């Protein structure tokens, strides 16, 4: 890959025959997993707080240093249950720069998500802006530890305390990360983890609520099982949020490989850092290496003023090479439905979010990606930026063919599940 004609977008063969996804699932020891599945089948205990779920809950609680871990079928339902169990109503302050589930978990229960701007250095809620968003209807703040980087937990705790608000965290991306030596999971009233297939630690689908609050934990445990307290006795409103044994078997097996998954993510992170260094306008977000971190996201900020090409043009170029880079979390929850219709002017209060969502780009990592692939991805990015203005000019000429290119892009996506 030495010259622009080598780029697939200009007609050359794609750099990769197979697609490179951002988050291919990490798979632990298959034999251990199959052994567990066989045990599960022999036992004929498939769900409803089975032995694997109990073991997974105990291990996660011990690892995070929290009193309670309640395994749930996914993080979205875990958020919904935590929000309901905490008794939230009215308005809740959340970032817009997050996966849509954070906002939907509130709106689903007719609680209004009030989108608050981020600190552009951390991509997390800006505590200085949070206080401006508080009204008499505000019940809580839900911070998101985006990319696994901790929120400003001390400042948020202080604001919550002063205004008598609940404080929850969407810690979906932050399993295995710490802040000032304390594991994420023990901040606020409760935190929610995701173990979705695309997270570095997965239970196929899955999640958990972790908390040190005994009463809250008891309510959450009841609510994820229809409110049942023993047979024939329902004492609370509830739903079906249970994790099944198959997921827990995957989780227990994944836990045994956790260090290896993190090691690979770290190795990938450092390689991207080395090979992207010095490319003008390309800034890779960094993690605090003094803390525990899962390094599961490789996120770039693309500054068109220096790269010559926009983030979206770079995405198109990468997709043509079968590198399925993602624009997490474009365009921000406030510009997605139903919020976009409810609050058409929300963006006026979100200037930093609006700037950042135009620049972010997530790249492939995890155990499915190796040094050769990362090397090639970085080479493509370097080549493009070195010839930024020329690439832009050639892309503009391609605009007439844009519709056919977009179709092709969709086909690439469809033909590679
Ligand atoms: N809060 C936050 C901050 C979150 O990030 C999330 C989830 C949640 C809450 C809710 O958690 P869950 O209810 O899901 O437990 C993906 C995931 O579906 C989602 O879990 C995750 N965040 C989000 C960041 O990413 P999509 O729409 O990008 O997924 P998708 O299907 O495009 O998959 C991503 C990549 O992984 C693709 O490149 C394909 C590849 N892939 C995917 C699956 C499912 C595989 O290679 N194998 C697979 O099995 O949302």
Render pLDDT for 187-203 as a digit per residue (tens, 0 to 9). Answer: 999 999 999 999 999 99
Q: What is the mean pLDDT of residues 116-142?
A: 98
Report the number of secondary-structure helices (H) and strands (E) in the chain: 16, 14
pTM of the model: 0.95
DSSP SS3 for 363 = strand
Per-residue pLDDT at 190: 98
Percent of the chain with pLDDT over 90: 94
For ligand 1, atom 27, name the residue with the nearest CA: 99
Per-residue pLDDT at 401: 54
Report H helices in 224-310. Answer: 245-256, 258-276, 304-307
Residue 32 to residue 9: CA distance in whole angstroms: 43
Instruction: Name the residue of 99, 103, 200 to mutate for ligand 1: max ligand atoms within 8 A of Cβ.
Output: 99
pLDDT at 98 over 80: yes
Other CB atoms closer than 10 Å to residue 32's CB: what's the count?
A: 15
Assess contact for 266 and 296: CB atoms under 8 A: no
Residue 15 to residue 380: CA distance in whole angstroms: 9
Nearest to 296 by CA among 414, 153, 184, 155: 184
Phi, psi (degrees; rounded to nearest 5) at 278: 85, -5
Q: How far, in Å, is the centroid of ligand 1 from the Cα of 99?
A: 9
Dihedral, CA of residue 321, residue 324, residue 330 and residue 336, to nearest 10: 120
pLDDT at 404 over 70: no
Low-confidence winner among 96-100, 157-161, 245-249, 392-396 (lowest mean pLDDT) = 392-396
With residues binned 3-state (H G I as helix, E B as strand, rest as coil), the percentages for the chain, rounded to 5, are 45, 15, 40
pLDDT at 317 over 80: yes
Q: Which residue has the higher pLDDT, 108 or 2?
A: 108
Q: Which residue has the higher pLDDT, 404 or 254?
A: 254
Q: What is the mean pLDDT of residues 394-407?
A: 64
Q: What mean pLDDT, rounded, does the chain reach?
A: 95
Nearest to 362 by CA among 135, 67, 147, 123: 147
Per-residue pLDDT at 359: 98
- Alpha-carbon Rg for the chain, nearest whole angstrom, is 22
pLDDT at 392 over 50: yes
Confidence tier at 398 by pLDDT (50, 70, 90): confident
pLDDT at 414 over 50: no
User: Which atom of ligand 1 lies at the shortest distance from residue 22's CA?
Assistant: 38
Q: What is the mean pLDDT of residues 345-364?
A: 98
Question: Residues lining ligand 1, judged by CB closer than 6 Å?
Answer: 21-25, 74-76, 98-99, 101-102, 144, 170, 172-173, 194, 196-198, 207, 324, 328
Q: How far, in Å, is the centroid of ligand 1 from the Cα of 378?
A: 24
Rounded to 10 deg, the angle between the 311-320 and 402-415 helix axes is: 60
pLDDT at 283 over 90: yes
Residue 273 to residue 285: CA distance in whole angstroms: 9
Confidence tier at 1 by pLDDT (50, 70, 90): confident
Other CB atoms closer than 10 Å to residue 374's CB: what's the count?
A: 23
pLDDT digits (tens, 9 = 90+) for 18-57: 999 998 999 999 999 999 999 999 999 999 999 999 999 9
Q: Encode 176-203: b = buried (16+ Cβ within 10 Å), e = exposed.
A: bbbbeeebbbbbbbbbbbbbbeebbbbb
DSSP SS3 for 205 = coil
For ligand 1, atom 22, name the residue with the nearest CA: 99
Residue 283 CB burial class (10 angstroms; 0-12, 13-18, ≥19): middle
For ligand 1, atom 17, name the residue with the nearest CA: 198
Per-residue pLDDT at 406: 55
User: Which atom of ligand 1 lies at the shortest distance from residue 194's CA?
Assistant: 15
**Who contacts 316 (Cβ-Cβ below 8 Å, separation ≥6)?**
9, 395, 405, 409
Handedness of CA 128, 109, 195, 276 (dihedral sign): negative
Instruction: Name the residue of 196, 297, 319, 366 to mutate for ligand 1: max ligand atoms within 8 A of Cβ.
Output: 196
User: Which atom of ligand 1 lies at the shortest distance from residue 205's CA?
Assistant: 15
Percent of the chain with pLDDT over 70: 95
Per-residue pLDDT at 417: 44
Q: What is the mean pLDDT of residues 229-241?
A: 96
Q: How far, in Å, is the centroid of ligand 1 from the Cα of 282?
A: 25
For ligand 1, atom 25, name the residue with the nearest CA: 198
Q: How far, in Å, is the centroid of ligand 1 from the Cα of 274?
A: 27
Q: How far, in Å, is the centroid of ligand 1 from the Cα of 194?
A: 10
Assess contact for 205 and 197: CB atoms under 8 A: yes
Q: What is the mean pLDDT of residues 265-287?
A: 98
Q: What is the mean pLDDT of residues 366-392?
A: 97
**Who contacts 19 (Cβ-Cβ below 8 Å, separation ≥6)?**
322, 323, 324, 412, 416
């Amino acid at each position: 890959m030495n010259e622009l004609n080598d780029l697939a977008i200009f007609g050359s063969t794609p750099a990769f025959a197979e697609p490179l996804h951002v988050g291919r699932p990490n798979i632990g020891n298959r034999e251990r997993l199959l052994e567990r599945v066989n045990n599960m089948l022999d036992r004929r205990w498939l769900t409803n707080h089975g032995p694997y779920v109990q073991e997974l809950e105990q291990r996660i609680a011990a690892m995070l240093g929290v009193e309670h871990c309640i395994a749930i079928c996914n993080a979205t339902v875990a958020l919904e249950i935590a929000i309901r169990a905490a008794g939230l109503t009215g308005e809740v302050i959340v970032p817009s720069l997050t996966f849509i589930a954070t906002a939907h978990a509130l709106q689903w229960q007719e609680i209004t998500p009030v989108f608050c701007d981020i600190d552009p250095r951390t991509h997390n809620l800006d505590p200085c802006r949070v206080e401006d968003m508080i009204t008499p209807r505000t019940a809580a703040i839900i911070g998101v530890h985006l990319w696994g980087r901790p929120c400003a937990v001390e400042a948020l705790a202080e604001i919550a305390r002063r205004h008598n608000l609940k404080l929850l965290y969407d810690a979906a991306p932050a399993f295995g990360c710490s802040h000032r030596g304390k594991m994420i999971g023990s901040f606020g009233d409760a935190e929610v983890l995701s173990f979705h297939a695309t997270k570095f630690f997965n239970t196929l689908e899955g999640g958990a609520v972790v908390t040190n609050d005994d009463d809250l934990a008891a309510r959450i445990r009841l609510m994820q099982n229809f409110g049942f307290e023993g047979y024939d006795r329902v004492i609370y409103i509830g739903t079906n949020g249970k994790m099944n044994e198959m997921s827990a078997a995957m989780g227990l097996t994944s836990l045994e490989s956790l260090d290896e998954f993190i090691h690979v993510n770290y190795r990938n992170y450092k390689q991207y850092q080395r090979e992207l260094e010095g490319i003008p306008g390309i800034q890779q977000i960094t993690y605090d290496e003094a803390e525990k971190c899962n390094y599961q996201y490789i996120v770039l900020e693309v500054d068109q003023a220096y790269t010559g090409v926009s983030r979206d043009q770079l995405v198109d170029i990468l997709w043509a090479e079968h590198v399925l880079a993602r624009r997490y979390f474009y365009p921000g929850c406030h510009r997605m439905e139903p919020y976009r219709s409810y609050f058409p002017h929300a963006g006026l209060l979100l200037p930093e979010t609006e700037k950042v969502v135009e620049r972010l780009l997530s790249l492939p990592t995890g155990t499915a990606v190796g040094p050769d692939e990362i090397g090639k991805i970085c080479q493509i990015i370097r080549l493009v930026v070195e010839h930024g203005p020329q690439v832009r000019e050639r892309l503009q000429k391609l605009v007439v063919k844009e519709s056919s290119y977009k179709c092709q892009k969709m086909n690439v996506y469809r033909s590679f599940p």
